[in-house]
Amino acid sequence: MLLTGIDFGQLYRDQMALAGGKEKPASAWDARALEMQKRPSDSHYTQAFIELTNTSDCSTVLDMGCGTGAIGLALAAKMHQVIGMDYSIGMLQAFESNARKQGITNIRTIQRAWEDSWEETPKCDLVVASRSTTVMDMTDALQKLDRTANKRVCLTNLVGGSFIDRGLIEALEREVRSIPDYIYILNILYQMGRHPRLDYIEANGRLAGIANVEDFVTKAELSLGTLSDSEKQRAEAWYLADSKRAKRGGDGFKWAFISWDTN
């Protein structure tokens, strides 16, 4: 079979279905908005995303899945206007609140989801989607980003399809059900006639920053659900076998930073 004969969009949707992927309701993000607003905005991830983003000849930016504004507000000084777009009203309120605290006035917000119609979404020179691309239909999402950007798109997508160290999941004797990762995006963009650039941003595992084995098990349950007694024993054994690695949350993971020009 030739590459051109493969429907990567359908393969993405098939793997997402097998992994049990589904959109979180907006209310779930509304509930987390205040907590996330308190997190520092100058993280290693944010700094790396900004450094990799080519803003040349761009005066407007749309931040899709803007959350509390870590990326969009960091770009505001370089832009005439920043549009934060999210389906969570709580996140949009946090975005606006953070802008006020930072004295940023060149912003506006739009409540809109990936699956909504984007016909009335204003076009911007630059469109970014930071850690917000766990969507059910990647082809549709990429086409919307591409159509909305006058000059270029920058996004990040999880490498490997799991935030939890595979070694821990295997130690628990659970099935590894990875969501689709960035390789689908590259192939879909290629079939769209785009020529994406690829880089990576390193990150700690989701279970990073653990003080002791008890905290590790508690935090693991927040990500993996309730652990049985035998699973707790296996998780403790995995932690104690290499506590330095476990305190990092495992071997960490990467975000694929993907960008392309639209003109």
Nearest to 156 by CA among 181, 176, 174, 179: 181
Tokens of 172: 């628990």
For tokens 């309701």, what's the residue?
25
**Beta strands at 124-129 and 149-158: parallel, antiparallel or unpaired:** parallel
Q: Residue 30: its pLDDT value, please?
A: 79
- 27 CB neighbour count, 10 Å cutoff: 11
In this predicted structure, the answer to whether residue 149 has a pLDDT above a threshold of 90 is yes
- For residue range 115-126, what is the model confidence (pLDDT) as tens digits? 999 999 999 999
For tokens 């993280």, what's the residue?
43
In this predicted structure, the answer to whether residue 70 has a pLDDT above a threshold of 90 is yes
User: In which band, very low, low, confident or very high, does the pLDDT at 94 lie, cut at 50, 70 and 90?
Assistant: very high
**How far apart, in whole angstroms, are the C-alpha atoms of residue 248 and residue 101?**
32
